[in-house]
Amino acid sequence: MDKAFSKRNITSAWAITGLFPLNRDRVLRRIPKPPAQLIMPGPEEIRTDSGLLDEVPQTPITPVSAEAFMSLHNMIQ
């Protein structure tokens, strides 16, 4: 363990990564490239088996009473 945390090893690790002394090119080369951009199909390319896209879903209102909660619960089931 003493050998792992020697001044030489620590200095070497900082130098290899380009952090000290600062070497911007080395730092930037070590940064992983972003993943390729995913191509998302447009709405006209999405195939559906039913007319569900024609229906606009209703956003439920948060119930504040027991009756409203039960009504929402029954609607969900």
Instruction: Note the pLDDT tens digit of each residue in 17-60.
Output: 999 999 999 999 988 888 888 777 777 766 665 555 566 777 76
Structural element, H or E, at residue 75: helix 66-76
**pLDDT higher than threshold 60 for residue 16:** yes
Give the pLDDT confidence score for residue 73 in this predicted structure. 85
Cα(51)–Cα(54) distance, rounded to whole angstroms? 6
Is the whole model's pTM more than 0.95, yes or no? no
How many residues in total does the chain contain? Answer: 77
As a three-state string, the secondary structure of 39-60 is CCCCHHHCCCCCHHHHCCCCCC
